[in-house]
Amino acid sequence: MSSKKKFCETQKCLFVILVAVAAAIAAICVVTLTDENLREKRSLEPLPWWKTSIVYQIYPRSFQDSDNDGTGDLRGIKERLGYLSDLGVGAVWLSPIFLSPMRDFGYDVRNYTDVDPLFGNMADFENLISEAKDKNLRVILDFVPNHTSNESEWFYWSERGHKKYKDYYVWNSGIECAAGCDDTGGRRPPNNWLSVFGGSAWKWSGIRQKFYYHAFLDSQPDLNLRNKNVQTELQDVLEFWLQKGVDGFRADALKFMFESPNVTDDETGLTDTFTWIEADNHNLTTNLPEVYDILKGWRAVLNKYGKDKFLIAESYGISHEIRDKYYESGSIPFNFALIQYLNKSCNALCMRDVIQDSLGGLNSNWPNFVLGNHDNSRVANRFGPETIDAFNMLLLTLPGTPTSYYGEEIGMRDTFYTYRETKDTAGLNYNETQYMEHSRDPERSPMQWDDGLNAGFSNGTPWLHVNHNYQLINVKAQKLADRSHLKVYQQLAKLRQDPAFTHNSVQFVNISDVGGNDKTILAYIRAQINSDKYLVVMNFGHQYANNVDLSKGAGSENGMVVVNAMSAYQKEMIDLKSVTLSRGQGLVIKVM
Please indicate whether residue 67 is annotated as part of the active site.
no
**What confidence tier does 141 reach under pLDDT thresholds 50, 70, 90?**
very high
What distance lies between CA 198 and its chain's CA centroid? 26
| pLDDT score for 47 | 93
**What confidence tier does 516 reach under pLDDT thresholds 50, 70, 90?**
low
**pLDDT surpassing 50 at residue 503:** yes
Q: Are 516 and 548 in contact (CB under 8 A)?
A: no
Distance CA 89, CA 136 (A): 10
Instruction: Convert the pLDDT of each residue in 332-385 to its tens digit.
Output: 999 999 999 999 999 999 999 999 999 999 999 999 999 999 999 999 999 999
| pLDDT score for 569 | 61
Please indicate whether residue 65 is annotated as part of the active site.
no
Check 73, 314, 408, 424 and give the catalytic one: 314
Exposure class string for 196-233: b at 16+ Cβ within 10 A, else e: bbbebbbbbbeebebbbbbbbbbbbbbbbbebeebbee
| pLDDT score for 465 | 99
| pLDDT score for 531 | 87
Beta bridge mates, 142 = 250
Q: How many C-beta atoms lie closer than 10 Å to residue 43's C-beta?
A: 8
Distances (CA, A) of 558 to 512, 523, 547, 549: 20, 16, 14, 11
String of DSSP letters for 437-475: HH--GGGGPPP---SSGGGGS-SS--SSPPPTTTTTS-H
**pLDDT surpassing 50 at residue 276:** no
Residue 405, C-beta contacts closer than 8 angstroms, at least 6 positions apart = 57, 370, 371, 372, 373, 374, 378, 443
Radius of gyration of the chain (CA): 28
**pLDDT surpassing 60 at residue 17:** no
Distance CA 74, CA 65 (A): 8
Check 124, 252, 266, 280 and give the catalytic one: 252
Instruction: Convert the pLDDT of each residue in 28-64 to its tens digit.
Output: 444 333 333 433 443 457 899 999 999 999 999 999 9
What average pLDDT does the structure give for the chain? 91
Distance CA 449, CA 458 (A): 10
**pLDDT surpassing 70 at residue 584:** yes
**pLDDT surpassing 80 at residue 118:** yes
**What confidence tier does 267 reach under pLDDT thresholds 50, 70, 90?**
confident
Which amino acid does the sequence have at 509? V
**pLDDT surpassing 50 at residue 539:** yes
**pLDDT surpassing 90 at residue 546:** no
| pLDDT score for 318 | 92
Of the chain, the end-to-end C-alpha distance in Å amounts to 73
Cα dihedral sign, 22-28-30-33: negative
Exposure class string for 138-160: b at 16+ Cβ within 10 A, else e: bbbbbbbbbbbbbbbebbeebbe
Pick left, alpha or beta for residue 120 (phi over 0 → left; psi -120 to 50 → alpha; otherwise beta). left
Residue 403 φ/ψ, nearest 5 degrees = -115, 125
**pLDDT surpassing 50 at residue 170:** yes
Q: How many C-beta atoms lie closer than 10 Å to residue 423's C-beta?
A: 16
Q: Are 339 and 370 in contact (CB under 8 A)?
A: yes
Instruction: Select, from the ranges 4-13, 40-49, 76-85, 515-524, the one with the highest average predicted confidence (pLDDT).
Output: 76-85
Interval 515-526 mean pLDDT: 84
Residue 210 φ/ψ, nearest 5 degrees = -145, 165
Q: Are 434 and 420 in contact (CB under 8 A)?
A: no
